[in-house]
Amino acid sequence: MTTRRPLRRSRRRASNWPQDSASLEQFHALASGLVTSPPLAPEDAGPQAAITADTAAVFGNAAAMSKIPASSAQGIPNPFTSLWNGAEQVLRTMSYYEMKNRAGVIGRSGLGPMIGQLAAASAGIRIHLMGHSFGARLVSYALSGLPPAATGANSPVRTLLLIQGAFSHYSFANPVPNFLVTGPGALSAFAGNVNGPLLATFSAADRACGWWYPAASMLAHRDAESVDDLAAQWGAMGHDGYQQSPPGTTVTLAAQGTEYNFQPGIFYLLDANAVICADLSPFSGAHSDIQHAQVVWPIVDASH
C-alpha cells in the first residue's frame, strides 16, 4: 500500500473503508502529514489539537460536528462508519489548515518584503491590500514583513481589506481575550503599518468561518458548551470581524458609490449579512459569495 492510496480512498463511501483501528491511525498520521507550515500565532492554532490528540477522539469529534450524517448500508449503527466519516472531515480540515498556515508564511516572508522593495524603488507609492479567506491572512501577515520604518505616514500600505478572512478574529487584539491564549495577537504590533483604515467584512452565513473554523478547534477546548462558545474563542474574521478592546467601528456594507468617510488607523467591521448571504456550499455556506460591487467598493472609496 502506498502512502497516497489511503488518502485517495477518501472519495469512497466510508462504509467501504477497513474496519480496524490500525487503518484509522494510519490515515490520521498521513492526513496530519499534510500540515508542514507553522501556525505562527497561538490564537490561530486551535486545529493543532486535531494533529496531536488521540485518533478516535479526533475522528469522533469531527463526525459529531459534521452536518453530513453517517450511514450504514444495513441500517445498523457501525462505529467505524462514523469514524471514517469523521476522518474525511479531518482530511479536509488538515488541507485547509496547511493552506492557512502557509498563507501567513508567504505574507510575512514574501509579500511583505516585496512591498518594502517596491516602496524603496518608488517613493510615494500607494498600495492597497485586499484578500479573501486565506488570502486575507496572507495580506495581513504581509504587514509583519514590511521594513521596520514602514509605519504610520511612512508606510506604503494605505488600506487593508479582509474579505471573509479565514483566520483568528483576535489577530490584532492586545491582549487576546481568550483564556487559552495569553498575550497579544500575532499582528497587534503591526496595525500601525497601515497608513489608512483597516476593513473586514463579516457574515453569519459564512459557514466556513462561523462553523468549521471554530469546530476544527473543538479538541483544544473540550469544555465548550456550544458552537457559539467555540466561535467566541476560535472565531474567524469572516464570522464577526476584528475582535479586540476597545472595539472597532461597525458599519453596514452599502451600495457602490457610498461615501464611508473611513479614518486612518481605525478598525472597521463591515456588516455584510445582507450581501454575503447565498448558501453556495454545505461546507462553506456563503463564504465565497463575494462577487458583489458592495464588497469591493470600500477599498475603492478608501483609496480616494
> Does 118 fall in a domain?
yes
Q: What is the pLDDT of residues 17-31, one digit of tens each?
A: 767 788 888 888 888
Same structural domain, 128 and 204: yes
Domain count, the chain: 2
Is 99 within the bounds of a domain?
A: no
Of the residues 67, 94, 121, which one is the last residue of a structural domain? 94
Global confidence as pTM: 0.84
Distances (CA, A) of 65 to 72, 80, 162: 18, 16, 27
> CB of 267 within 8 A of CB of 244?
yes
- The pLDDT tens digits for 259-290 are 999 999 999 999 999 999 999 988 789 999 99
| Tens-digit pLDDT profile for residues 142-197 | 999 999 999 989 999 999 999 999 999 999 999 888 666 778 999 999 999 999 99
Residue 102 in any domain: the answer is no
| Residue 7, pLDDT score | 54
Would 291 be classed as within a structural domain?
A: yes
Q: Is residue 261 part of a domain?
A: yes
- 156, HSE (Cβ side, Cα atoms, 13 Å): 22
Q: How confident is the model at residue 41 (pLDDT cuts 50, 70, 90)?
A: confident
Q: What cell numbers appear for 224 in the block? A: 465548550
Give residue-wise pLDDT tens across range 87-113: 887 887 787 788 888 999 999 999 999
Q: Choose one of 29, 60, 94: the last residue of a domain.
A: 94
- Do 111 and 235 sit in the same domain of this protein? yes
Residue-range definition of the domain harbouring residue 90? 5-94
What percentage of the chain exceeds 90 in pLDDT? 49
Q: What is the pLDDT of residue 63?
A: 73
- Please identify, among 52, 67, 94, the residue that sits at the C-terminal boundary of a domain: 94
| Domain co-membership, 203 together with 161 | yes
pLDDT surpassing 50 at residue 1: no
Higher local confidence (pLDDT), 99 or 67: 99
Find out whether 276 and 290 touch, Cβ atoms under 8 Å. yes
Per-residue pLDDT tens digits for 193-242:
999 999 999 999 998 888 777 766 666 655 455 556 666 777 899 999 99
- 32 vs 130, which has greater pLDDT? 130
| Residue 81: inside a domain | yes
Do 263 and 137 sit in the same domain of this protein? yes
Domain match, 149 and 277 both? yes
